[in-house]
Structure 1
Amino acid sequence: MTQSGAFPQGMITQVHGRAFTLRGDDIDTDRIIPARYLKCVSFEALGDQVFADDRQELAGAHPFDQPEHVGARILVVNGNFGCGSSREHAPQALMRWGIRAVIGVSFAEIFYGNCLALGIPCATATPDEVVRLQAAVEADPTLEWSLDLERGRCQNERAGDWEVRLDPGAREMLLSGRWDATSQLVAREAELNATLQRLPYLNGFHPL
């Protein structure tokens, strides 16, 4: 399945869309979504608040505020992206804004796992390759890029072709659709119902 605009679901083999960059190492989850927004009842409105403090400080100059980036699907970052506290709100905020894939030098482990649970691939490349990719992305924000998870490539016909890597386990989960726990439960409904029928406390069991 190819991801473009809709929320991820099922098997994910490619992510297509425009890209933009967010430069800087050690961008933590508190910057991605400030702690005061963790009180939200649902994740629905988090997209509007992604990088809220950074965006306020830069008064419209932040990459997430640039009109040419509206609708972009691929974010290209640097090293140790998503470090800090292990809040699932961070990838939720990115996804609600519209991000469907992130490419960088490295990612904090918990952030990486939280992204995988949402079907957001976090691909890596060497520092030099990431800088080159960022320069290509910034040179023309209108270009459409393709992140191919099967081939391990990020490319645009005009701008170039970059090798990217995913952890083998994460790659297999995305390609097979096993990243999506809800779909896995739905697909195994019959087995779940059979298990429920065998549970004594759901079938007339009365303790002594």
Structure 2
Amino acid sequence: MEQFTSLTGVAAPLEITNIDTDMIIPKQYLKTIKRTGLGEGLFAEMRYQDDGSENPDFVLNKPAYRNAKILVAGDNFGCGSSREHAPWALLDFGIRCVISTSFADIFYNNCFKNGILPIVVSPENLAKLLDDAKRGANATVSVDLEAQDIRGPDGGIIHFDIDPFRKHCLLNGLDDIGLTLKKSSQIEIFEKKSGAERFWL
């Protein structure tokens, strides 16, 4: 998993409440188990019109936000079904950080397992960040995970809280497999001992 230390980039405003995982990545894209290529389907039902052409009114189709790295979204982001394809699609598009007042638990956990930083802020701070994001490509936002700070384009700083263990994993690029491999020497010792003691297995 790619490490997350700090991130500076354009923040796209998506001021919609209860964005569920089917909105993030519709069901027709769930046939694959590959983590690549799903960026094309991100928010597909809002990004594309019935004829397959882009919807010019959708935020990520606007020139200022085509390369957005941060998403500033409404309450309860990632609710609905527990599809891990949702963070895969965000990551494949280039989104490394989602900021909201609240997240669905399963989506929130899946973000950390895939190198995306979900940040919970107060409604007041979300309003400030949405205002910054609406200023377009000329106003970048910086996220510093080590300091747990979000810095707006005018220098304003918003502090955020994060579980220390999850912070450690993101800073070091450790998903569940990576955490297990950190103990590979201990696992090897256990396997040798177990094999000797239970030779019939």
| Category of TM-score, reference length = shorter chain | 0.7 to 0.9
- Shift of the alpha carbon at 1:155? 0.6
Alignment CA distance shift 1:157-1:51 (3 Å): closer
Name the residue aligned to 2:95. 99
Aligned partner of residue 177 in structure 2, secondary structure = helix
Alignment CA distance shift 1:84-1:189 (3 Å): same
CA distance in 2, matches of 1:155, 1:167: 20
CA distance in 1, matches of 2:179, 2:55: 43
Taking every aligned residue pair, what percent have the same amino acid on both sides?
34
RMSD: 2.5
Name the residue aligned to 2:195. 200
Alignment CA distance shift 1:199-1:71 (3 Å): farther
Task: In structure 2, list runs of 5 or more residues that go unmatched.
Answer: none
CA distance in 1, matches of 2:2, 2:179: 14
Name the residue aligned to 1:8. 2
CA distance in 2, matches of 1:133, 1:159: 12
- Shift of the alpha carbon at 1:168? 4.7
CA distance in 2, matches of 1:198, 1:35: 46
- Shift of the alpha carbon at 1:18? 2.0
Question: Is contact 2:17-2:77 (8 Å) kept?
Answer: yes
Name the residue aligned to 1:4. none
- Shift of the alpha carbon at 1:114? 0.3
Q: How does 1:1-208 map to 2 (within 5 A)?
A: 8-9=2-3, 12-57=4-49, 59-158=55-154, 160-175=156-171, 177=172, 179-200=174-195, 205-206=199-200
Question: Is contact 2:139-2:153 (8 Å) kept?
Answer: no
Aligned partner of residue 98 in structure 2, secondary structure = strand
Question: Is contact 1:91-1:115 (8 Å) kept?
Answer: yes
Aligned partner of residue 198 in structure 1, secondary structure = helix
TM-score by length of 2: 0.85
Alignment CA distance shift 1:163-1:206 (3 Å): closer
- Shift of the alpha carbon at 1:178? 7.2
CA distance in 2, matches of 1:69, 1:117: 25
- Shift of the alpha carbon at 1:172? 4.4
Alignment CA distance shift 1:42-1:94 (3 Å): same
CA distance in 1, matches of 2:138, 2:194: 56
Equivalences, count: 197
TM-score by length of 1: 0.82
CA distance in 2, matches of 1:66, 1:121: 24
Question: Is contact 2:65-2:136 (8 Å) kept?
Answer: no
Aligned partner letter, 2:192: Q
Alignment CA distance shift 1:53-1:157 (3 Å): closer
Moved more, 13-22 or 56-65: 56-65
